[in-house]
Amino acid sequence: MRIVMLGGSGFVGQVLARRLVRDGHAVLVLTRNRSQHREVALLPGVELREGNVYDSDWLAARCAGADAVVNLVGILNEPGIGGAGGRGFERAHVQLTRTVIAACQRAGATRLLQMSALNAGRGRSHYLRTRGAAEAAVQASGLRWTIFRPSVIFGRGDGLFCRFAELLTLSPLMPLAGANARFQPVAVEDVAEAFARALTRPDSIGQIYELGGPEVVTLAEIVRRAAQWMGVRRLVLPMPNAVGWLQAATFGLWPLANKPLSLDNFRSLAVDSVVDADDGLVRLGIDKTAMAQTVPNYLAPRSTGG
Protein backbone atom coordinates (compact mmCIF):
# COMPACT_ATOMS: atom_id res chain seq x y z
CA MET A 1 0.00 0.00 0.00
CA ARG A 2 0.91 3.67 -0.30
CA ILE A 3 0.37 5.24 3.10
CA VAL A 4 0.47 8.94 4.02
CA MET A 5 1.31 9.70 7.65
CA LEU A 6 0.84 12.91 9.61
CA GLY A 7 2.85 12.91 12.83
CA GLY A 8 5.06 10.20 11.38
CA SER A 9 8.24 11.85 12.66
CA GLY A 10 7.11 11.63 16.30
CA PHE A 11 7.50 9.02 19.03
CA VAL A 12 4.79 6.63 17.81
CA GLY A 13 5.17 7.61 14.16
CA GLN A 14 8.76 6.48 13.76
CA VAL A 15 8.00 3.07 15.26
CA LEU A 16 4.90 2.71 13.09
CA ALA A 17 6.78 3.78 9.94
CA ARG A 18 9.36 1.03 10.51
CA ARG A 19 6.59 -1.49 11.15
CA LEU A 20 4.73 -0.58 7.95
CA VAL A 21 7.91 -0.72 5.86
CA ARG A 22 8.51 -4.26 7.14
CA ASP A 23 5.17 -5.20 5.62
CA GLY A 24 6.28 -3.82 2.28
CA HIS A 25 4.24 -0.62 2.32
CA ALA A 26 5.53 2.68 0.90
CA VAL A 27 5.22 5.41 3.53
CA LEU A 28 5.09 9.16 2.92
CA VAL A 29 5.73 11.10 6.14
CA LEU A 30 4.61 14.73 6.17
CA THR A 31 6.47 17.16 8.41
CA ARG A 32 6.72 20.89 9.07
CA ASN A 33 10.50 20.79 9.33
CA ARG A 34 12.44 18.21 7.35
CA SER A 35 15.81 19.26 8.77
CA GLN A 36 14.77 18.26 12.31
CA HIS A 37 13.81 14.73 11.30
CA ARG A 38 16.48 13.57 8.89
CA GLU A 39 16.66 10.18 10.64
CA VAL A 40 13.15 9.41 9.36
CA ALA A 41 14.22 10.02 5.76
CA LEU A 42 16.98 7.41 6.19
CA LEU A 43 14.45 4.63 6.75
CA PRO A 44 14.20 2.41 3.64
CA GLY A 45 10.78 2.74 2.07
CA VAL A 46 10.01 6.06 3.77
CA GLU A 47 9.79 9.41 2.00
CA LEU A 48 9.87 12.59 4.09
CA ARG A 49 8.05 15.61 2.65
CA GLU A 50 8.09 19.10 4.16
CA GLY A 51 5.01 21.29 4.03
CA ASN A 52 2.07 22.83 5.85
CA VAL A 53 -0.40 20.08 6.78
CA TYR A 54 -2.97 22.76 7.67
CA ASP A 55 -3.05 23.79 3.99
CA SER A 56 -5.93 21.73 2.59
CA ASP A 57 -4.78 22.11 -1.04
CA TRP A 58 -1.23 20.99 -0.27
CA LEU A 59 -2.45 18.12 1.89
CA ALA A 60 -4.97 16.92 -0.70
CA ALA A 61 -2.19 16.79 -3.31
CA ARG A 62 -0.09 14.60 -0.98
CA CYS A 63 -3.05 12.29 -0.27
CA ALA A 64 -3.85 11.72 -3.95
CA GLY A 65 -3.34 8.06 -4.77
CA ALA A 66 -2.97 7.01 -1.13
CA ASP A 67 -4.45 3.70 -0.03
CA ALA A 68 -4.65 5.00 3.54
CA VAL A 69 -3.98 8.13 5.56
CA VAL A 70 -2.77 7.87 9.17
CA ASN A 71 -3.21 10.88 11.47
CA LEU A 72 -1.03 10.60 14.58
CA VAL A 73 -0.84 14.32 15.38
CA GLY A 74 -1.50 15.26 18.99
CA ILE A 75 -0.22 17.51 21.76
CA LEU A 76 -0.25 17.03 25.53
CA ASN A 77 0.32 20.68 26.38
CA GLU A 78 0.12 24.09 24.79
CA PRO A 79 3.13 26.40 24.53
CA GLY A 80 3.17 29.73 26.28
CA ILE A 81 2.85 30.75 29.91
CA GLY A 82 -0.35 29.20 31.17
CA GLY A 83 -1.07 27.66 27.76
CA ALA A 84 -3.41 29.09 25.17
CA GLY A 85 -6.79 28.52 26.76
CA GLY A 86 -7.43 25.41 24.70
CA ARG A 87 -6.79 27.03 21.32
CA GLY A 88 -3.66 24.95 20.75
CA PHE A 89 -5.56 21.72 21.42
CA GLU A 90 -8.40 22.86 19.19
CA ARG A 91 -5.98 23.56 16.34
CA ALA A 92 -3.90 20.37 16.64
CA HIS A 93 -6.74 17.95 17.30
CA VAL A 94 -9.96 19.34 15.80
CA GLN A 95 -8.96 21.80 13.10
CA LEU A 96 -6.25 19.55 11.69
CA THR A 97 -8.48 16.47 11.74
CA ARG A 98 -11.13 18.36 9.77
CA THR A 99 -8.45 19.46 7.30
CA VAL A 100 -7.29 15.84 6.94
CA ILE A 101 -10.86 14.68 6.32
CA ALA A 102 -11.43 17.36 3.68
CA ALA A 103 -8.12 16.50 2.00
CA CYS A 104 -8.98 12.79 1.94
CA GLN A 105 -12.39 13.50 0.45
CA ARG A 106 -10.95 15.73 -2.26
CA ALA A 107 -8.14 13.29 -3.08
CA GLY A 108 -10.34 10.20 -3.10
CA ALA A 109 -8.40 8.61 -0.24
CA THR A 110 -11.17 6.78 1.57
CA ARG A 111 -9.26 5.00 4.39
CA LEU A 112 -8.36 6.97 7.54
CA LEU A 113 -6.68 5.68 10.70
CA GLN A 114 -6.96 8.20 13.53
CA MET A 115 -4.98 8.37 16.76
CA SER A 116 -7.05 9.46 19.75
CA ALA A 117 -6.83 8.76 23.49
CA LEU A 118 -8.62 6.85 26.20
CA ASN A 119 -11.44 8.94 27.68
CA ALA A 120 -11.73 11.08 24.56
CA GLY A 121 -14.71 13.38 25.06
CA ARG A 122 -14.84 12.81 28.82
CA GLY A 123 -13.65 14.96 31.70
CA ARG A 124 -12.92 18.69 31.88
CA SER A 125 -9.55 18.95 30.18
CA HIS A 126 -9.08 20.65 26.82
CA TYR A 127 -7.00 17.65 25.77
CA LEU A 128 -9.80 15.10 26.25
CA ARG A 129 -12.53 17.43 25.00
CA THR A 130 -10.76 18.10 21.70
CA ARG A 131 -9.82 14.45 21.24
CA GLY A 132 -13.53 13.68 21.51
CA ALA A 133 -14.47 16.41 19.03
CA ALA A 134 -11.91 15.06 16.55
CA GLU A 135 -13.37 11.56 16.89
CA ALA A 136 -16.86 12.90 16.20
CA ALA A 137 -15.60 14.58 13.02
CA VAL A 138 -13.97 11.33 11.85
CA GLN A 139 -17.09 9.28 12.52
CA ALA A 140 -19.25 11.74 10.56
CA SER A 141 -16.81 11.95 7.63
CA GLY A 142 -18.15 9.16 5.46
CA LEU A 143 -14.60 7.75 5.21
CA ARG A 144 -13.63 4.17 6.03
CA TRP A 145 -12.24 5.07 9.44
CA THR A 146 -10.63 3.29 12.39
CA ILE A 147 -9.93 5.06 15.70
CA PHE A 148 -7.33 4.08 18.31
CA ARG A 149 -7.55 5.11 21.97
CA PRO A 150 -4.36 4.21 23.84
CA SER A 151 -3.65 4.76 27.50
CA VAL A 152 -0.24 6.32 28.22
CA ILE A 153 2.40 4.90 25.88
CA PHE A 154 5.85 3.72 26.96
CA GLY A 155 8.97 3.00 24.93
CA ARG A 156 12.47 4.31 24.34
CA GLY A 157 12.33 8.12 24.23
CA ASP A 158 8.80 8.26 25.67
CA GLY A 159 7.21 11.17 27.51
CA LEU A 160 6.33 8.97 30.47
CA PHE A 161 9.22 7.09 32.07
CA CYS A 162 11.89 9.20 30.37
CA ARG A 163 10.25 12.43 31.56
CA PHE A 164 10.02 11.19 35.15
CA ALA A 165 13.59 9.92 34.95
CA GLU A 166 14.72 13.49 34.30
CA LEU A 167 12.73 14.80 37.28
CA LEU A 168 13.94 12.03 39.56
CA THR A 169 17.55 13.14 39.12
CA LEU A 170 16.79 16.54 40.66
CA SER A 171 15.87 15.66 44.23
CA PRO A 172 15.55 12.71 46.66
CA LEU A 173 11.93 13.81 47.21
CA MET A 174 9.31 13.66 44.44
CA PRO A 175 6.10 15.60 45.25
CA LEU A 176 3.43 14.18 42.96
CA ALA A 177 0.07 15.57 41.90
CA GLY A 178 -2.59 13.06 40.89
CA ALA A 179 -0.62 10.24 42.48
CA ASN A 180 -3.64 7.93 42.66
CA ALA A 181 -4.68 8.38 39.03
CA ARG A 182 -4.83 4.98 37.33
CA PHE A 183 -3.27 4.10 33.97
CA GLN A 184 -2.82 1.03 31.80
CA PRO A 185 0.51 1.78 30.09
CA VAL A 186 0.84 0.27 26.63
CA ALA A 187 4.05 -0.40 24.68
CA VAL A 188 4.67 1.76 21.63
CA GLU A 189 5.43 -1.37 19.61
CA ASP A 190 1.99 -2.79 20.51
CA VAL A 191 0.31 0.45 19.43
CA ALA A 192 2.17 0.33 16.12
CA GLU A 193 1.17 -3.32 15.69
CA ALA A 194 -2.48 -2.39 16.24
CA PHE A 195 -2.33 0.20 13.45
CA ALA A 196 -0.52 -2.23 11.11
CA ARG A 197 -3.03 -5.03 11.65
CA ALA A 198 -6.10 -2.82 11.40
CA LEU A 199 -4.79 -1.42 8.13
CA THR A 200 -5.23 -4.76 6.38
CA ARG A 201 -8.36 -5.98 8.18
CA PRO A 202 -11.70 -5.02 6.60
CA ASP A 203 -13.46 -5.78 9.91
CA SER A 204 -11.55 -2.90 11.55
CA ILE A 205 -13.43 -0.31 9.49
CA GLY A 206 -15.80 1.68 11.67
CA GLN A 207 -14.21 0.32 14.84
CA ILE A 208 -12.72 2.02 17.92
CA TYR A 209 -9.87 0.15 19.61
CA GLU A 210 -8.99 0.96 23.21
CA LEU A 211 -5.36 0.02 23.80
CA GLY A 212 -3.96 -0.81 27.22
CA GLY A 213 -1.09 -2.93 28.49
CA PRO A 214 -1.23 -5.94 30.83
CA GLU A 215 -1.08 -3.91 34.08
CA VAL A 216 -3.17 -1.19 35.71
CA VAL A 217 -0.98 1.03 37.90
CA THR A 218 -1.23 4.37 39.64
CA LEU A 219 0.89 7.35 38.70
CA ALA A 220 2.76 6.93 41.99
CA GLU A 221 3.59 3.32 41.07
CA ILE A 222 4.87 4.44 37.68
CA VAL A 223 7.24 6.93 39.33
CA ARG A 224 8.41 4.39 41.93
CA ARG A 225 9.18 1.85 39.21
CA ALA A 226 11.06 4.45 37.23
CA ALA A 227 13.25 5.15 40.27
CA GLN A 228 13.76 1.42 40.86
CA TRP A 229 14.81 0.77 37.26
CA MET A 230 17.12 3.79 37.38
CA GLY A 231 18.75 2.39 40.50
CA VAL A 232 18.02 5.43 42.66
CA ARG A 233 16.22 5.84 45.97
CA ARG A 234 13.44 8.41 45.89
CA LEU A 235 10.55 9.20 48.21
CA VAL A 236 7.33 9.77 46.27
CA LEU A 237 5.10 12.19 48.16
CA PRO A 238 1.45 12.13 47.01
CA MET A 239 -0.08 15.59 47.33
CA PRO A 240 -3.65 16.57 48.18
CA ASN A 241 -5.65 17.89 45.23
CA ALA A 242 -5.42 21.51 46.33
CA VAL A 243 -1.62 21.33 46.55
CA GLY A 244 -1.47 19.32 43.33
CA TRP A 245 -3.47 22.03 41.58
CA LEU A 246 -0.94 24.60 42.81
CA GLN A 247 1.96 22.47 41.53
CA ALA A 248 0.28 22.12 38.13
CA ALA A 249 -0.37 25.87 37.98
CA THR A 250 3.28 26.57 38.81
CA PHE A 251 4.63 24.16 36.21
CA GLY A 252 2.17 25.67 33.74
CA LEU A 253 4.18 28.90 33.86
CA TRP A 254 6.91 27.12 31.89
CA PRO A 255 6.73 28.88 28.52
CA LEU A 256 7.39 25.85 26.30
CA ALA A 257 5.04 23.03 25.31
CA ASN A 258 7.03 20.26 27.07
CA LYS A 259 5.86 21.22 30.55
CA PRO A 260 6.36 18.58 33.28
CA LEU A 261 2.74 19.22 34.31
CA SER A 262 -0.01 21.70 33.52
CA LEU A 263 -3.49 22.46 34.80
CA ASP A 264 -4.90 20.73 31.75
CA ASN A 265 -2.86 17.60 32.56
CA PHE A 266 -4.16 17.82 36.12
CA ARG A 267 -7.75 17.89 34.87
CA SER A 268 -7.07 14.84 32.69
CA LEU A 269 -5.75 12.96 35.73
CA ALA A 270 -9.22 13.12 37.27
CA VAL A 271 -10.36 10.39 34.84
CA ASP A 272 -8.64 6.98 35.07
CA SER A 273 -6.97 5.98 31.78
CA VAL A 274 -7.99 2.31 31.81
CA VAL A 275 -9.62 0.31 29.02
CA ASP A 276 -13.08 -1.19 29.43
CA ALA A 277 -13.91 -4.86 28.92
CA ASP A 278 -13.66 -4.47 25.11
CA ASP A 279 -9.86 -4.62 24.91
CA GLY A 280 -8.52 -3.55 21.49
CA LEU A 281 -5.24 -5.45 21.64
CA VAL A 282 -7.07 -8.66 22.50
CA ARG A 283 -9.52 -8.09 19.62
CA LEU A 284 -6.59 -7.65 17.23
CA GLY A 285 -4.79 -10.75 18.56
CA ILE A 286 -1.77 -8.85 19.92
CA ASP A 287 0.23 -10.22 22.86
CA LYS A 288 0.73 -7.40 25.35
CA THR A 289 4.21 -6.21 26.31
CA ALA A 290 4.81 -5.68 30.03
CA MET A 291 6.65 -2.59 31.23
CA ALA A 292 9.31 -4.72 32.90
CA GLN A 293 10.18 -6.31 29.54
CA THR A 294 11.45 -3.09 27.98
CA VAL A 295 11.56 -0.07 30.30
CA PRO A 296 14.61 -1.18 32.36
CA ASN A 297 16.55 -1.43 29.08
CA TYR A 298 16.31 2.32 28.42
CA LEU A 299 16.25 3.63 32.01
CA ALA A 300 19.93 3.04 32.66
CA PRO A 301 20.95 2.91 36.35
CA ARG A 302 22.04 6.33 37.60
CA SER A 303 24.60 7.07 40.28
CA THR A 304 23.42 10.64 40.87
CA GLY A 305 21.74 10.99 44.26
CA GLY A 306 22.39 7.39 45.33
Report, as an integer, the average pLDDT of 19-48: 86
Instruction: Please provide the average confidence, as pLDDT, over all residues in the chain.
Output: 92
pLDDT at 305: 45
Per-residue 3-state assignment (H helix, E strand, C coil) for the chain:
CEEEEECCCCHHHHHHHHHHHHCCCEEEEEECCHHHHHHHHCCCCEEEEECCCCCHHHHHHHHCCCCEEEECCCCCCCCCCCCCCCHHHHHHHHHHHHHHHHHHHHHCCCEEEEECCCCCCCCCCHHHHHHHHHHHHHHCCCCEEEEEEECCEECCCCCCHHHHHHHHCCCCEEEECCCCCEECCEEHHHHHHHHHHHHCCHHHCCEEEEECCCCCEEHHHHHHHHHHHHCCCCEEEECCHHHHHHHHHHHCCCCCCCCCCCHHHHHHCCCCECCCCCEHHHHCCCCCCCHHHHHHHHCCCCCCCC
Report which of 81, 271, 76 is spatially closest to residue 178, judged by C-alpha positions.
Answer: 271
pLDDT digits (tens, 9 = 90+) for 158-195: 989 998 998 898 889 989 999 999 999 999 999 999 99
Report, as an integer, the average pLDDT of 141-149: 98
Report, as an integer, the average pLDDT of 255-283: 87
What Å distances lie between residue 16 and 58, 196, 268, CA to CA?
23, 8, 26
Whether the CA torsion 210, 213, 214, 215 is positive or negative: it is: negative
Cβ neighbours around 123 below 10 Å, total = 16
Report, as an integer, the average pLDDT of 122-140: 96
pLDDT band (50, 70, 90) for residue 261? confident
Domains of the chain: 2-151+186-212+275-287 (3.40.50.720)
pLDDT at 301: 72
| Amino acid, res. 73 | V
pLDDT digits (tens, 9 = 90+) for 54-96: 999 999 999 999 999 999 999 998 877 666 689 999 999 999 9
The widest CA-to-CA distance across the chain, in whole angstroms, is 59
